[in-house]
A and B are shown apart, each in its own frame.
Chain A
Amino acid sequence: MIENPMLKVDQLSFSFQHKQLFESLSFELKPGDILHLKGPNGCGKSTLLSILAGLRKPSSGQVRIKSSAANSIEARSFIEYLPPEKSGLFLKMTARQNLSFWSSLKDRQSATGEIDRCLRNWGLGSAFIKYFPTQRFSTGMKRRLALARISLSQSPCFLLDEPLNGLDEEGVHLFKNMLEQHRNNGGSAIVVSHESQILKTLFTDQLTLHL
């Protein structure tokens, strides 16, 4: 047992409409761990991540993030969640407005300079990107902006579902750098991805769910 784990899952089970997705799942994540969550389609990877993010209630078991229950406000201040497919953006608003709102909801008020720097780091620094609504972005650009939101927050635990969706080679490279830096800073992450070869060097552990 790890002392002061970042995330602790204890005997977690979930069933939905007569389908048992997983049963008695237990694992821990310590600072610096990057866990690769894998399995066939429909085995419950996205569901598990949404439970850890406090969006769904498990059938039984417990999830604790830094000793707080997963759906508590305290726990939510430690995590950043990226949903699969969609990027969680306000499509009628600009990239800057999006990042400004999300950072205002967490403990920090990011200055405009910091937001601009973050956008530039993710290759989103052009005037077009700053001043036009995000509905005009491509899928890859939206994904980059979502990852920019996550990196800006500096939360210690990332829950990322298919983060590489729509990203080009440069985007993948930027993501890998972000994840590596996050790990080196003592952060941890759970990543759902079918592209394990690309991120192989970053993962410290893996968890496979079965049908």
Chain B
Amino acid sequence: MNLTKKDKKAFFLGAGVFAALVLVWTSAAWLVPAEAFQGEVYRILYIHVPSASCAFLCASLLFGFSIASLVKKSPQAQFGLWARASAEIGLFFTVLTLATGSLWGKPTWGTWWTWDARLTTTFVLALLYGAYLLLESSMPAGILRQKVCAVMGVLIFADVPIIYKSVTWWRTLHQPPTLNFAGSVPMDGPILRTLIFSLVLCVASCLWFVWQRSANLRLRLLFEDQSFRQWRGV
């Protein structure tokens, strides 16, 4: 298989990030002590919290690429591809957040699901990502689709602050934010360190996914264009 320098770079970068992530999760599963009140079940926190962060990070990326798409109007629709990749990866992480949240919720709260404000609005974010992807595939390719999806990306981002603030605005079943920048963090050293490593590596893997997925989408477009030209004998 002939790989270009860029492909090799992407491969080794991705492999490095995932290897580090596997190491951190392994240490989270076996080496870090159990939590005093929740016991072993708390360990899902190391996937749940980073996934939630990545889900919201993707909404920010979607917003950024949507604004760039509206402002720049590039003919190759580059920013549209980045935005779509962000939405797909965002959907993946949102579903992962909800699934891991349910697995955590059952032993902790006694229920797989409750219509708590934060859970509900995270579910809404998943619906929004799904709606974005559906909108994108329902429209014929062209500048109008780019613009309409960019506007949708901006609307989705308008929903994100509501989700983020929900825990502080409303009394809910969900615990307050684990990590905040004002005041102390209610966590012991090893747990906090492992969580932060997990968060950083998860974010890195999320960015890698978005990068690779957008490259994938671009390749698909080029391939379709080449196939068509070949068919037409151009």
A and B touch in the complex (CB under 8 A): yes
A interface residues, Cβ below 8 angstroms from B: 16-18, 57, 59-60
Stretch of B52-60, B137-145, B179-187, B192-200 at the chain-chain interface = B137-145
A21 CB, nearest partner CB in chain B, Å: 13
Size of the B side of the interface (Cβ < 8 Å), in residues, is 9
A173 CB, nearest partner CB in chain B, Å: 39
| Bound Cα distance A124, B228 (Å) | 50
Point out the residue from A17, A57, A59, A60 that lies within 8 Å of B141, measured CB to CB.
A17
- B75 CB-CB contact with A under 8 Å: yes
* Interface pair B224/A18, CB less than 8 Å apart: yes
Main secondary structure of the interface of B (DSSP, over half): helix
* Interface pair A18/B228, CB less than 8 Å apart: yes
Q: Which residues of A contact B142 (CB under 8 A)?
A: 16-17
Q: Which residues of B contact A60 (CB under 8 A)?
A: 75
| Bound Cα distance A188, B224 (Å) | 41
B60-75 vs A: 1/0 string, CB under 8 Å?
Answer: 0000000000000001
Q: List 10 A-B pairs, Cβ < 8 Å.
A: A16-B142, A17-B140, A17-B141, A17-B142, A18-B224, A18-B228, A18-B229, A57-B143, A59-B75, A60-B75
| Bound Cα distance A23, B153 (Å) | 33
Q: A17-B140, A18-B224, A18-B228 are in contact. List 8 more A-B contacts (CB 8 A).
A: A16-B142, A17-B141, A17-B142, A18-B225, A18-B229, A57-B143, A59-B75, A60-B75
Question: CB-nearest residue of chain B relative to A56?
Answer: B143
Q: Which residues of A contact B75 (CB under 8 A)?
A: 59-60
Q: Which residues of B contact A59 (CB under 8 A)?
A: 75
Question: CB-nearest residue of chain B relative to A57?
Answer: B143
B221-234 vs A: 1/0 string, CB under 8 Å?
Answer: 00011001100000
Q: Which 8 A-B pairs have the closest CB atoms?
A: A18-B228, A57-B143, A18-B225, A17-B141, A59-B75, A18-B224, A16-B142, A18-B229
Question: CB-nearest residue of chain A relative to B143?
Answer: A57
| Bound Cα distance A17, B142 (Å) | 8
B230 CB, nearest partner CB in chain A, Å: 11
Question: CB-nearest residue of chain A relative to B225?
Answer: A18
| Bound Cα distance A16, B75 (Å) | 12
